[in-house]
Amino acid sequence: MTAQRRARRWRVAALGTAVGMVLPLAACAGTAQEQASGPTKITFWNWYQGSDGPTVEALVKKFNESQSKVVVDMTIMPKDTMIQKLLPAFASGDGPTLIAVGHEMTTQYITKKVVQPIDDFYGEGKLDKAVLPKATIEATTYEGKVYGAPMSTAPLMLYYNKTLFQKAGVEPPTTLVELAAAAKAITSYKEGENTTNVYGIAQGMFSGIHSWTAYFRNDGGGYVSEDRKTSILDSAENIKTLNYWTGLFRNDHISPIGVSVPDAQALFAAGRAGMVIDGPWGAGTYAKGGVDFGVIPFPAGTTTQTTMIVGTPILVAAGIPDAQRAASLEFLKFWNSTESQTTWAIKSGYPPTRSDIPMADLAENPVPELFTKAVGAESHMRGVVNFQTILDDVVNPAIQKVMNGEGTAEEVLPEASKQLQELLG
């Protein structure tokens, strides 16, 4: 999802200005009384500004028009803007009723007590845990209570350019060793010819979804211990992994170094990269660019096979009136219904949040089924409160420093691990 478009306010025009804000507890009773004679209004913030945005808008509009008891007033804004505004808005009593944020972000809002448990939203006639993504339930569970319901969930997978693979005489990789070999075979690099070089893989580093965790985890490493209390960034496995890929990047030029995720995606869309790690949202762009692509699971390492699952669960604000809480459940039931998820999958390319929808019902768009074939998809940093700071201020700079030749992994990762530990507390 991009962040270039301006924040936009969306509502059914006939409803007028929405007033369903999260209010201080002292004002809740008044708000409930004001809404007693009309529909209950709830506000919903998310960052779906990309090609999936119109589908989100259409489904919210359909919900509003399908019944007369609840009105969802939705605000879509850039991700960075939304993150900056959320906590101040909650602190001032002007926060939204519902927020859709990344899996890894949920813990910080839970621990700051701005969202509430919704265990009672699950059960007969409500949301069905049996058919909804386990990754979302796990990522939004804290101290035994569930705080979220799925909006979207998709794994990162490996796109590959069939034309470049055929030209290089290589097959789609199933292991990281095969990925490295294929990338070397595809790469056509000359120093200084940055506009014509062809890379084996375009590996983004920043300004987008972080995919480096899979490289480390699949070869026995990672960033934090399973209990999320200890940094393992300077483990022997991580040092070996980072030095290995640094050699391939610096010496064999299989990927440009230090490019953003959007720039990596642009290289693949232009036919100048053999592979890129991405989600279902990228398929439309690559197809429009004329790339004949395939999609496969992120390859296995020496230890395991896993990939990052990307999801935006919907969380419910704390301290809202009972009427808004009940209205929130009705919207979440609608969003995760069979009909809504069939529409969502076909129009957006995301897999449906429900596992009981036959793939034959999604035949109109083949992309969602491709993204049901991921192996070992999981939320790698769930439960880590400062995860974004850890990535932005510690992990990404450390990887970049080694890639730039400013130190080996043995020299850089121990200090970075100390910084990560401080952030873990």
330, 178 contact by CB (below 8 A): no
Look at residues 22, 84, 107, 43 and name the one whose alpha carbon lies nearest to residue 318: 22
**Assigned domain for 80 exists:** yes
**Assigned domain for 2 exists:** no
Same domain, 100 and 210: no
Same domain, 268 and 414: yes
Q: 340, 359, 377 — which closes off a domain?
A: 377
Q: Of 36-40, 149-153, 154-158, where does mean pLDDT reach its minimum?
A: 36-40
**Assigned domain for 191 exists:** yes
Same domain, 145 and 177: no
**Assigned domain for 91 exists:** yes
Same domain, 275 and 419: yes
Per-residue pLDDT for 341 more than 50?
Answer: yes
72, 44 contact by CB (below 8 A): yes
Same domain, 384 and 333: no
Same domain, 268 and 416: yes
**Assigned domain for 3 exists:** no
CA dist 352 and 280 (Å) reads 12
CA dist 183 and 253 (Å) reads 9
Q: What are residue 99's DSSP bridge partners?
A: 45, 315
**Assigned domain for 299 exists:** yes
Same domain, 134 and 245: no
11, 19 contact by CB (below 8 A): no
Max CA distance (Å), the chain? 71
Look at residues 189, 133, 142, 139 and name the one whose alpha carbon lies nearest to residue 350: 133
pLDDT category of residue 386 using cuts at 50, 70 and 90: confident
Same domain, 132 and 214: no
185, 275 contact by CB (below 8 A): no
- Into how many domains does the chain fold? 2
**Assigned domain for 400 exists:** yes
pLDDT tens-digit series, residues 95-142: 999 999 998 889 999 999 999 999 999 999 999 999 999 989 998 999
pLDDT tens-digit series, residues 236-285: 999 999 999 999 999 999 999 999 999 999 999 999 999 999 999 999 89
Per-residue pLDDT for 299 more than 70?
Answer: yes
Domain of 333 in residue numbering reads as 8-154+310-377
Same domain, 315 and 172: no
**Assigned domain for 1 exists:** no
CATH number, residue 39: 3.40.190.10
Residue 7: predicted pLDDT: 43
Same domain, 40 and 150: yes
Tokens of 297: 């699971």
Same domain, 262 and 174: yes
Calculate helix-pair angle for 176-186, 236-251, nearest 10 degrees: 10
Look at residues 372, 348, 378 and name the one whose alpha carbon lies nearest to residue 358: 372
Same domain, 266 and 353: no
